[in-house]
Amino acid sequence: MQRFVPGQRWISETQGELGLGLVVAVDGRRVEIAYRATGQERIYALPEAPLVRLELTAGEHVRDRDGRDLTILSVANDAGLFIYRCEDVQGAVVALSESQIDDRLRFNRPHQRLMSGRLDPDHWFDLRWRTWLQGMREAGSPVRGLVGARVGLIPHQLEIAAEVARRDAPRVLLADEVGLGKTIEAGLILHRMLLTGRAQRVLVITPEPLLHQWLVEMRRRFNLRFALFDHARFASISDPNPFLADQQVLCSLDWIIRSAAARRALVEGQWDLLVVDEAHHLDWSQTAASPEYRLVADLAERTPGVLLLTATPEQLGRAGHFGRLRLLDPQRFRDYASFLAEEADYAPVAAAAAHLLDGRALGDADRTLIAARLGDLDGLDAETILQRLLDRHGTGRVMFRNTRASIPGFPGRDLLPYPLPEPDAYRAGSDTAERLAPERAHGPAWSEIDPRVDWLVELLRRLRPEKLLLICTAADTVLDLRDVLLRRAGIHAAVFHEEMDIRERDRAAAYFASAEDGTQILLCSEIGSEGRNFQFAHHLVLFDLPLDPDLLEQRIGRLDRIGQTRRVQIHVPYLAGGPGEVLFRWYAEGLHAFSAICPAAPAVYARLREDLTAALAHPQGADALVAEARVLSARINGELAAGRDRLLELHSHRPERSAALVEAIERVDADGDLADYLKRFWDGFGVEHESAPGHSWVVRPGAHMLQETFPELPEEGVTLTFDRATALSHEHWEFMTREHPMVLAAMELLSASDLGTSALTIVRDARFKRASLLLEALYVAECQAPSYLEAGRFLPPTLLRLLIDESGANLAETIPHDDLQGHCLNHNHKLARTLLESRGERLVSMIEFGERLARAAVVDLRRDATARMQTLLGEELDRLRALARVNPNVRPQEIAALEDRREQLAQALAKTHLRLDALRLVVTG
C-alpha cells in the first residue's frame, strides 16, 4: 500500500482532467485529495484509491505556484515529501517542495497515456494542435498587443504605441494636441507591454476628476482591470505595503499628495511602468519644484518605464516643460540654459529641413547649415537627410506630438459671439479683475443683473433638445447658475465642480450623457476642462474666458476631439465695452484661437502678457494689442509650421510605417480562424453559443459543462462580436480577438491540461495501405526565459508536428493534419487495448524515431532563432550607438540594457528545450 502524506501530489488514474491533486488529509482508511486547478475535492477509500504519485526527475521542467519556471536538478525525500532541487531561469538554485508545484502542472506523459490506453476523443487532440498554432501566430506577430484593443485603427496612435513599446524601458512624453488620443496611446503601450510580459506592475496617476474615466477606458477598451486606490482601499489592506496587493494600480495625484503614508508606500511599490496623466501639473522651475513634481521624480527614479501625458507641454512655461523632460532623463536634461540654447540653435536647421519636406531643393545656405550637423551631404537623398535629422532632433526621441493639422477627420469649429451690455453696477468702482469676473466679485446677487443669465436661458430654449456643455472658472459660479436656471426658467442642470466627490461627479457626467432622460446642460467649473470626454455634445458655452490660452484649448478640447461627429459650436457671451470684450477680441481676432488651435498662443501670451494686462485695464488699447497679437501669432505660427514642429510631427507619425501596422491589424481582423477555433473550444467544453443579430454571438455556460466554469464566462453569459466596427459601436459587447482574456485563458487551460494528449483513430482512406500505423506527434520547443526578455519574438513556443510511419519516415509535409479525419477509439477500450498490445513494440520504436527527428529540428530552431536575434538586436545596437554619438537623448543605460538583453537572450535561446505535448496513433485501412 502507498503511504500518503499531506502535501504530496497525486493524479487520478481514471479522471486525469481533474488536474494535479494535493493530499490534504489522510487517515487509516481514507485519503482526501484537493484538485485546486479544477476546484474539486475527492475522498478515496484506501487501499484501492485509483491514484498515481507524481514523481518528477532531473531535467524535467516544472512551474511553482508563484509562476516561476524551474528545471529540476535532483530529487530528495523529506519525511515522505519530494523536495526538488531546481534552477530558475536566471540560474539561481532553489528548493521546491512538491506541495508548492503549480496546480495546473502539465503532468501529461503522452506516450505513457497512450500505451496504457488512456485515450481522449480526437477533437481534443485537434484542438490542442490548433491551440499551439494560434499561440505561435500571436507570439510572433509584429502587432502583438495592438490587436486586442477596442479602438479604431488610427495610424498615429498605433505607430507611437509600436515605437514606444518596442523600446527597452520606454521613457517618453506623449504630447499630442488635446483630444487626439494620448490615453489610448498609453493604453496600447501598456497593453502590449503587459501581454508580452515586459511589464507587470503598472501605476497610473491622474488628477482626481479623471480617475473613473481611466478605470472605465482601461477596462472597456483594453480588458485591463485596474485597482482604484483611495484612502479607504489603502486603509483596508493590512499588508505592510498595500500597493503590493495589486499589479495594476490607479490613483489620484491629489490623494497621494495628501497622504504621507500612501506616498511612502507608493514610492516603494516596485513598479515596472509609471503613467502620469495631465503631467503639466508637475511644476518645476530652476529654483523650486512642487510636491507633486518631487513625488513623481522619486517614482520616476525607481521605475524603468515612464510615460508622461500632456496636451499642453508648455502650459506653465518652457521651464516647466524642461522640468518634465528632466523627469524622463535627468542626465540628458540637466541644465536649463543649455537646453534653451540648443533649442534656439536647432530652429534654423529645422526651418531648412522644411524645404526638403516640401519637396524643394536645398539652397546653399540651408545646405551648409544642415551639413554642419550631419557632415557631408553629397550623395544623400532628401529622405536620408530627413531621417538623420529626425534621429538627431532635439527632443525627438523622448517626445511625441501630433497636431490636428496632420490628422484628418475633425469636423471643425464655429465661433458664435454674443456681445451683451455691461451692467452699470459692474462698471462702477470695480477694478479690472472684478470687471473680468463680476460673478465672483458681486456676491450671489450677480445673477439677478447679469445679462448672460437671460441669454443662457434663451439659448437653452432655442437649442432644445441639443446638449450644451458650459465651462466657467469657479465652482461658485456653477452653483449660482444652477440655482438661477431652476428658479427663473425651471431648467434642471447637472453640475460638475471640485467640491463634489468623484462619484458625484461621475454620476453628474453620466446624467448629462444619457440620451433619453439626461439633462440638457452640464455646468462645469475649470475642473471639467481637462481630459473628460464630452464629444457626444456639439455646443460649448464659454461663460467666461481664462487668461491662459492652453486652458482655453483644454476647454474646447472636451468637444473637439476624436469621435466628434459635427462642427463644434462655441458660444461666447461677453460684456461689451469692458475687459471682457478685450479678452474676447484677443482670442478671436488676435490669436484666432476659437476657430482652430493656435499653436503660437502660448508664445504670444508669454510675450504680450503685460500688454494684455494693460489693455484689460484700459480697453481703448485693445485695437493695438489685437493687431500686434495678430501679427505675432501669424509669424510664430508660420515659423512653427515651417520649422521644427514639422520635424517633430514627422517623427511622431511616419505614415508609411503606420500604414503597415494598420494593414497588419486589418489582416488579423479579417482572418475568420478565431471564430472557428473558439466554436470548437466552446463545443468541447460544453459552452452554449448561438449567433445573434448584428454580427454578434451569445455565449453562456451550458447544462453539461466539462468543468464548473469556463474562463472569463460569467454565469449569465455574454454577448460578443469578432468584428471591430461592431465592437466600437456596441461597447457593452465583448470584443473577441486572439488577445482577449477569454481566449488566452482558454488556451492556457487546454495546454496546461491533459486533454487531447493521447488519441487513437482509425482512418479509412484509399490512399493508405491497409492496417498500417502512423504516429502523429506534437512536440513543442520552448525557450524558458524571464518574460521581460520577450524571447518569444525570436522563438515563440513552437509546434513541431511529425507524422511517423512504421519505417520511421516523417510524412508530415505530405499529409496535413486535416486529412487525417477518422473514427476515434476512445470509447472502444477493448479494440484500443488489443491494437496497442499487438503493435506495442512497433509503437515504441516509432516514438523513438520521432524523438530523434524532433531533437534534430530543435537544434535548427535554436540556431535560426539565435541568428535572428543577433541580427536584429545587433542592428538596433549599431543604430543606437551611432545615434548616441550625435544625439545625447540616447541614454547610455539604454545601450547597456540592450547589450545585456542580447547576452541574456543568447543564453536563454541556447537552453531551448523540447517537450512532447501530444500523440495520436492513426491506424489506416
Ligand X SMILES: Nc1ncnc2c1ncn2[C@@H]1O[C@H](COP(=O)(O)OP(=O)(O)OP(=O)(O)O)[C@@H](O)[C@H]1O
Q: How many angstroms separate the CA atoms of 570 and 597, rounded?
A: 13
Restricting to residues 623-682, which ones interact with ligand X according to CB under 6 A? none
Out of 122, 168, 176, 230, the residue judged to bind ligand X by CB under 6 A = 176
Instruction: Convert 505-547 into a string of H (helix), E (strand) and C (coil).
Output: HHHHHHHHHCCCCCCCEEEECHHHHCCCCCCCCCEEEECCCCC
Return the range that interacts with ligand X (CB under 6 A); candidates 171-179, 268-276, 505-513, 816-824.
171-179
User: Residue 135: which H helix or E strand, with range?
Assistant: helix 122-139
C-alpha dist (Å) from residue 27 to 40, 54, 397, 751, 822: 20, 20, 67, 35, 47
Return the range that interacts with ligand X (CB under 6 A); candidates 173-181, 387-395, 539-547, 653-661.
173-181
Out of 184, 189, 204, 494, the residue judged to bind ligand X by CB under 6 A = 184
Q: Please check whether residue 544 is in contact with residue 439, taking contact to mean a CB–CB distance below 8 angstroms.
A: yes
Return the range that interacts with ligand X (CB under 6 A); candidates 182-190, 233-241, 600-608, 787-795.
182-190
Site string for ligand X, 346-375 (x = CB under 6 A): ------------------------------
C-alpha dist (Å) from residue 6 to 25, 35, 113, 255: 6, 13, 26, 47
Closest contact distance (angstroms) between CB of 877 and ligand X is 33
| 81-88/69-78 β-pairing | antiparallel
- Detail the DSSP E strand segments found in 79-139: 81-88, 93-97
Return the range that interacts with ligand X (CB under 6 A); candidates 131-139, 176-184, 294-302, 494-502.
176-184
Closest contact distance (angstroms) between CB of 221 and ligand X is 7
Restricting to residues 299-338, which ones interact with ligand X according to CB under 6 A? 311
Closest contact distance (angstroms) between CB of 184 and ligand X is 4
Q: Please check whether residue 373 is in contact with residue 392, taking contact to mean a CB–CB distance below 8 angstroms.
A: yes
Report how far Cα 591 is from the mean position of its chain's Cα atoms: 37
Closest contact distance (angstroms) between CB of 174 and ligand X is 8
Contacts of 702 (CB under 8 A, 6+ apart): 686, 687, 688
Closest contact distance (angstroms) between CB of 599 and ligand X is 15
DSSP notation for 292-332: HHHHHHHHHHH-SEEEEE-S-TTTT-HHHHHHHHHHH-TTT
Tell me the residue type at 878: D
Out of 70, 139, 173, 178, the residue judged to bind ligand X by CB under 6 A = 178
Omega within 30 of 0 (cis) for the link into 291: no
727 class by beta-carbon count within 10 Å (0-12 exposed, 13-18 middle, 19+ buried): buried
Out of 115, 180, 582, 746, the residue judged to bind ligand X by CB under 6 A = 180
- Detail the DSSP E strand segments found in 660-812: 687-692, 696-701, 718-721, 734-735, 758-763, 773-782, 798-805
Does residue 155 touch ligand X according to CB under 6 A? Answer: no
Instruction: Compare residues 563 and 638 and give the one whose CB is closer to ligand X.
Output: 563
Q: How many angstroms separate the CA atoms of 754 and 47, rounded?
A: 26
Return the range that interacts with ligand X (CB under 6 A); candidates 65-73, 119-127, 468-476, 558-566.
558-566
Residue with cell 532623463: 329
Rounded to a whole number, what is the largest CA-CA distance in the chain? 111
Closest contact distance (angstroms) between CB of 413 and ligand X is 15
Question: What is the rounded (10 degree) CA torsion for 381, 385, 388, 393?
Answer: -160
Out of 179, 242, 313, 549, the residue judged to bind ligand X by CB under 6 A = 179
Out of 563, 714, 816, 892, the residue judged to bind ligand X by CB under 6 A = 563
Instruction: Compare residues 184 and 296 and give the one whose CB is closer to ligand X.
Output: 184
Q: How many angstroms separate the CA atoms of 137 and 144, rounded?
A: 9
Does residue 157 touch ligand X according to CB under 6 A? Answer: yes
Closest contact distance (angstroms) between CB of 415 and ligand X is 20
Does residue 154 touch ligand X according to CB under 6 A? Answer: yes
Contacts of 200 (CB under 8 A, 6+ apart): 194, 247, 272, 787
Contacts of 205 (CB under 8 A, 6+ apart): 251, 252, 253, 256, 274, 275, 276, 277, 296
Instruction: Compare residues 26 and 562 and give the one whose CB is closer to ligand X.
Output: 562
Return the range that interacts with ligand X (CB under 6 A); candidates 80-88, 180-188, 243-251, 894-902.
180-188
Return the range that interacts with ligand X (CB under 6 A); candidates 165-173, 181-189, 300-308, 731-739.
181-189
Return the C-alpha cell found at 892.
547610455
Restricting to residues 517-536, which ones interact with ligand X according to CB under 6 A? 531, 533
Region of 710 on the Ramachandran plot (φ > 0 left; ψ -120 to 50 alpha; else beta): beta
Return the range that interacts with ligand X (CB under 6 A); candidates 233-241, 543-551, 560-568, 665-673.
560-568
Q: Please check whether residue 436 is in contact with residue 410, taking contact to mean a CB–CB distance below 8 angstroms.
A: no
Site string for ligand X, 264-303 (x = CB under 6 A): ----------------------------------------
Restricting to residues 132-151, which ones interact with ligand X according to CB under 6 A? 151
Q: Is 181 annotated as a binding residue?
A: yes
Closest contact distance (angstroms) between CB of 303 and ligand X is 21
Q: Is 649 annotated as a binding residue?
A: no
Site string for ligand X, 186-215 (x = CB under 6 A): ------------------------------
Opening angle at CA 782, ends 824 and 858, nearest 5: 85
Count the neighbouring beta carbons within 10 Å of the beta carbon of residue 143.
22
Q: How many angstroms separate the CA atoms of 778 and 306, rounded?
A: 42
Return the C-alpha cell found at 1.
500500500
Closest contact distance (angstroms) between CB of 322 and ligand X is 21
Instruction: Compare residues 679 and 695 and give the one whose CB is closer to ligand X.
Output: 695
Return the C-alpha cell found at 260.
504621507
Q: Is 39 annotated as a binding residue?
A: no
Nearest to 535 by CA among 550, 554, 513: 513
Q: How many angstroms separate the CA atoms of 586 and 278, rounded?
A: 26
Closest contact distance (angstroms) between CB of 172 and ligand X is 14
Q: How many angstroms separate the CA atoms of 695 and 64, rounded?
A: 42
Q: Is 178 annotated as a binding residue?
A: yes
Closest contact distance (angstroms) between CB of 154 and ligand X is 4
Closest contact distance (angstroms) between CB of 537 and ligand X is 12
DSSP notation for 775-786: EEEEEEEE----
Does residue 175 touch ligand X according to CB under 6 A? Answer: no
Q: How many angstroms separate the CA atoms of 190 and 160, rounded?
A: 12
Out of 562, 596, 617, 634, the residue judged to bind ligand X by CB under 6 A = 562
Does residue 182 touch ligand X according to CB under 6 A? Answer: yes
Return the range that interacts with ligand X (CB under 6 A); candidates 175-183, 659-667, 750-758, 874-882.
175-183
Closest contact distance (angstroms) between CB of 484 and ligand X is 30
Instruction: Compare residues 181 and 599 and give the one whose CB is closer to ligand X.
Output: 181
Closest contact distance (angstroms) between CB of 593 and ligand X is 16
Size of the site for ligand X (CB under 6 A): 19
Q: Is 292 annotated as a binding residue?
A: no
Instruction: Compare residues 531 and 684 and give the one whose CB is closer to ligand X.
Output: 531
Restricting to residues 674-733, which ones interact with ligand X according to CB under 6 A? none
Out of 68, 130, 198, 561, the residue judged to bind ligand X by CB under 6 A = 561
Instruction: Compare residues 563 and 925 and give the one whose CB is closer to ligand X.
Output: 563
Instruction: Compare residues 12 and 533 and give the one whose CB is closer to ligand X.
Output: 533
Q: Is 432 annotated as a binding residue?
A: no
Q: Which residues are annotated as a binding site?
A: 176-183
In the complex, which residues of this chain contact ligand X (CB under 6 A)? 151-152, 154, 157, 176, 178-184, 311, 531, 533, 557, 561-563
> Could you tell me which residues are annotated as the binding site for ATP?
176-183
